[in-house]
Structure 1
Amino acid sequence: MVFAELLRPALLAAARSPRMERTVAKIPVTRNLVDRFVAGQTEAEAIVATAGILDSGRYITIDYLGEDTTEMSQASVTVSHYLTLLSSLAHLAPTTADDRSPRSIEVSLKLSALGQFLPGDGHKVALENAHKICTAAEEAGVWVTVDAEDHTTTDSTLSIVHELREDFPALGTVLQAYLKRTEADCKDLSRPGSRIRLCKGAYKEPASVAFQGKAAVDEAYLRCLRILIRGQGYPMVASHDPLMIEAALQHAKEEGRTADEFELQMLYGVRDTEQLRLIDAQQHLRVYLPYGDQWYGYFMRRLAERPANLAFFLKSLTSQR
């Protein structure tokens, strides 16, 4: 555990390194491990994985991997890809008479992939691109949640989310518990109709803005969780930690929330048996399913998050020698 805590900052830094990406991508065993966490590189592969998840009784949120877009053409390609994906998902999305009920299918967006930080008016570009995707999602009967990225993006992201919610009130967003500002954001955003995915956070952040160390982050997560469960929105509890899951279920019970008034979320390829156990216990659980060829940054953050992931990777490397 101590080794993992020491190595985590290095892995998160490596997630932003093009040089390290080239090195890791050349390691033969990498592809096999990536397949544990990423549902293929194509839309067709993602649709097959999605159908399997839905058949098991789980909900799903789909992320077409990509971030830090530097060219307008890249942002346009991402938008086109999401529009095509949503057209395919429309055939899988069940019709619901009650719009307040959870939707089984959702897509997740990273605004940096939509042009958020392009030179000039990236804010406007990302807003317009996200609006196109939200419009198509509404027609397909699919929810949309805007992902969180590193702390430098938070103000811009929440501003865009606020503008989008004027037309798409069911739009969700992600808050990261390790940021010191997040408790205040939870209080501000846990209003009627809001959907907030609470995660611990997966980027390398300075101590000036983020809690450091597992114990401090866990405590922050529990504080934010209590705010959201007691609030008037729809909490989405993104965690694999049994203590956080048990806390969420206990708080929901104490506040009288029904199963339709909150959900649990876990990553594709992580704790599958536990996911199915929770479904059998009549809990709503959504699987975060990423796909695409821009897998590197996502993969490195998964290694940094859990010592078991890192140990598996290092063992695989050793076995290849």
Structure 2
Amino acid sequence: MPLLRQPILLLARSSGVKKVVSTLPVTSGIVTSYVPGETTAAAVEATAGLVDDGLHATLDFLGEDTVEQAQADATVAAYVELLRELGRRGLARNAEVSVKLSAIGQALPGVGDKVALENARIICRAARNAGTTVTLDMEDHTTTDRTLAVLRDLRKDFPETGAVLQAYLHRTEADCRALAYEGSRVRLCKGAYNEPEDVAFQDDIDVDRSYVRCLKVLLAGDGYPMIATHDPRMIAIAASLASRFGRARGTYEYQMLYGIRPEEQRRLAAAGETVRVYVPYGHEWYGYLMRRLAERPQNLTFFLRSLVSKK
């Protein structure tokens, strides 16, 4: 992994840096490149623009490490409002939501898993009423088993609920095999958290190799793979594997982040591929932004220039 990755991720915990970043105009430009806004209205307008371009969306109301019940309740309410508005605007057919369990109560002492499951049920019900679905985001490796346990419970009543697996974890190929069944939706990404070497591959080449192994499992299986990558090589490999395994377009999809390679997103969609854009929004954008910088350290140049220019 790039040498800058760990220092950038450490900055994600700094409230002081966050305060500076949020007040700088150039940095604010970086923020809006990745996060369309803080409100439901901003997220819905961004979604409408993507749909007009022939793209699909998955929306994430940003928030992590929730340790208060009121905060978890507010996040659930935000998702319910979002889903209601997507349905009202006729966008739900092309837009789903992504949910981090840590944002809806998983970290609450003693009752976290129960609260997160109950809150996820509320969001899943609202999504179904709107005519769309939910995908459970994956977070750092310490929550993987708990997240998959909640997924299993949710899928009893909401079998359309999607999962996310991270290729940089050593365990993920086995998890892909366990989830590659009919009706299962699985987003495969490389991973964006700073993980120790005993649980995660550290070198880019090893992560790429794991990603390809996992792709083979998912595309050969009976589920619906969601191929989350901006890497041109991985996109080409995915297309080749889809052809090898006889996958028709529409039986899998590509996923990319809002603001990253938009021309490639539109190119794939124009070629007949299903492309879904991950749209984050909300006040808690800082940790998300720093992980994006960690994934693409070339953006750090603009970030540092903004800090230095502050008078």
Give the TM bin, normalised by the shorter chain.
over 0.9
Q: How many residues align?
A: 311
Question: Matches of residues 119-268 of structure 1 in structure 2 within 5 Å?
Answer: 119-268=109-258
Distance 1:299 1:105, change over 3 A: same
Structure 2 counterpart of 1:308, from 284, 298, 301: 298
Aligned partner of 2:22 in structure 1 is 25
Aligned partner of 1:56 in structure 2 is 53
- Residue 293 of structure 2 aligns to which amino acid in structure 1? L
- 2:30 aligned with 1:40, yes or no? no
Matched residues in 1 for 2:94 and 2:292: separation?
A: 24
Matched residues in 1 for 2:309 and 2:262: separation?
A: 25
Matched residues in 1 for 2:91 and 2:74: separation?
A: 28
Matched residues in 1 for 2:91 and 2:284: separation?
A: 30
Kept in 2, the 8 Å contact 1:69–1:118? The answer is yes
- 2:77 aligned with 1:87, yes or no? no
Provide the identity percentage.
56
1:216 positional shift = 1.2
Q: TM-score, normalised by structure 1?
A: 0.93
Aligned partner of 2:286 in structure 1 is 296
1:117 positional shift = 1.3
Distance 1:28 1:142, change over 3 A: same
Matched residues in 2 for 1:93 and 1:185: separation?
A: 35
Matched residues in 2 for 1:39 and 1:134: separation?
A: 24
Deviations 1:200-226 (A, max 9, x none): 000000001000021111111111111
Matched residues in 2 for 1:283 and 1:233: separation?
A: 17
Kept in 2, the 8 Å contact 1:93–1:140? The answer is no
Matched residues in 2 for 1:94 and 1:73: separation?
A: 29
Aligned partner of 1:5 in structure 2 is 2
Aligned partner of 1:98 in structure 2 is none
Deviations 1:236-260 (A, max 9, x none): 0000000011111110111111111
- Residue 146 of structure 1 aligns to which amino acid in structure 2? L
Kept in 2, the 8 Å contact 1:29–1:320? The answer is no
Gap runs ≥5 in structure 2: none
Kept in 2, the 8 Å contact 1:93–1:141? The answer is no
1:191 positional shift = 0.7
SS of alignment partner, residue 4 of structure 2: helix
Aligned partner of 1:113 in structure 2 is 103
Matched residues in 1 for 2:146 and 2:215: separation?
A: 23
Range with greater deviation from structure 2 (24-33 or 293-302): 24-33
Q: TM-score, normalised by structure 2?
A: 0.96
1:12 positional shift = 1.3
- 2:70 aligned with 1:70, yes or no? no
Kept in 1, the 8 Å contact 2:56–2:277? The answer is yes
1:316 positional shift = 4.6
Deviations 1:270-296 (A, max 9, x none): 111111111111111000000111000
1:105 positional shift = 1.1
Question: What CA RMSD, in Å, does the superposition of the two structures yield over aligned residues?
Answer: 1.6
1:163 positional shift = 0.3
1:104 positional shift = 1.8
SS of alignment partner, residue 165 of structure 1: helix
Aligned partner of 1:99 in structure 2 is none
- Residue 194 of structure 1 aligns to which amino acid in structure 2? S
Aligned partner of 2:11 in structure 1 is 14
Matched residues in 2 for 1:117 and 1:183: separation?
A: 27
Matched residues in 2 for 1:61 and 1:292: separation?
A: 14
Kept in 1, the 8 Å contact 2:21–2:307? The answer is no
SS of alignment partner, residue 6 of structure 1: coil
Aligned partner of 2:268 in structure 1 is 278
